[in-house]
Structure 1
Amino acid sequence: MNYGLRGKPEEVLEVMTEMEADGVKPDIITYNFLMSSYCRNGNLEDAKVVYRSLSEKGCSQNTATYRHMLAAMYVNGDFDAGLDIFKESKMKNKIPDFRTMKGFVEGLVKGGRVADAKQIIAYMRKEFSGSPQSGWEKLDKELGLDSDSGDTAHLQDSFAKIDAEAKSVAADAEAFELEGSSSLICSGFVYHYLICC
């Protein structure tokens, strides 16, 4: 976990090799830490390779996988990959949290992908009710996507705010909480604990 959040990918890979040598198979949490390390160290393509190979490794993406990878895609402006990740998260009913999705939509708008942003907001408003829906309605209005005027000049004022929030989400993504990681029951944590203690 320490290497995944603060170290280099090579350090994560080294621990994974040691785990496998001792008969402990890396799980999705372990791979999430590897992808996190790749993204944090600017190796987005390597993170995508790991992401695409998860099923071959006998792992299935969890919500944390989608949250982290989607955040990394929009922070780095890779909207096509981000849209693919979002579509997959929809199919598996593991859509990332509101803050991650909000950042992705804001990034799409800033990147000139207004139609994609509108489609995501329409989907999220339809699928989710209650307070998150009001958040989508608010975002829709903030970005001016609730009108059909096509005028995007008003969006320029929002871009400074979007940049600040993207940096904040990127920092949060670096320290994202992985599902189940707090219990220290996953194989990678137990292995790390046994080695260190």
Structure 2
Amino acid sequence: MLCKGFRPNEHVYNVLIDGYLKKNMFEDGLKLYEEMRDRGISESILSYNSMMVGMCLHGKVDKACSLFIEIRKKGIHPNLVTYNSLIEVFIKVGKTEEDMDMFHELVKSDLQPSTSSYTLLMKALCDGGKVSNAVEL
């Protein structure tokens, strides 16, 4: 892109990063993310969401959690997509404590949990044999 004189903006970078991560090309996505930062393009919740989900899907849950802490230190507020994405990924990788922690953090935030927020957790609880907990939720 750069060799043709095209200067990608944050949106273009995020689309490409997300594409790499969805194609299981984590290292390429990470390089592009670092390039975006090196070029002085500020991260937004969109780019952080992509990176956190990508990290989780590639077994780097601890790094994703560190990134989640970093965004809040920078004053960037997680949105409903952030919470739901992390809850969903934690469920997929079997991190049941983390998915519930993330849900409780969502409830404490100024955001309103969505139907999807509840559905993800209720399904995970039912799949884990905790139907009474799902009903209670």
Same fold (TM over 0.5): yes
Q: Gapped runs of 5+ residues in structure 1? A: 121-197
Aligned to 2:73: 56
SS at match of 1:66: helix
1:72 aligns with 2:83: no
1:101 aligns with 2:113: no
Aligned to 1:83: 100
Please report how far the alpha carbon of residue 81 of structure 1 lies from its aligned counterpart in structure 2 after TM superposition: 1.0
Q: Distance in 2 between matches of 1:14 and 1:38?
A: 13
Q: What is the alpha-carbon root mean square deviation over aligned residues?
A: 2.2
- The 5 A counterparts of 1:16-165 are 16-120=33-137
Q: Gapped runs of 5+ residues in structure 2? A: 1-14
Q: Distance in 1 between matches of 2:33 and 2:57?
A: 18
SS at match of 2:73: coil
Please report how far the alpha carbon of residue 117 of structure 1 lies from its aligned counterpart in structure 2 after TM superposition: 2.2
Assess, with a 3 A threshold, how the Cα gap between structure 1 residues 6 and 96 changes in structure 2: closer, same or farther: farther
One-letter code of the match for 2:54? S
CA contact (8 A) 2:125 2:133 kept: yes
From the CA coordinates, give the structure whose radius of gyration is larger: 1
One-letter code of the match for 2:52? M
Q: Distance in 2 between matches of 1:111 and 1:5?
A: 27
One-letter code of the match for 2:87? L
SS at match of 1:61: coil
Q: Distance in 1 between matches of 2:110 and 2:131?
A: 24
> How many matched pairs?
120
Q: Distance in 2 between matches of 1:18 and 1:24?
A: 9
Q: Distance in 2 between matches of 1:93 and 1:112?
A: 31
SS at match of 1:33: helix
CA contact (8 A) 1:9 1:37 kept: yes
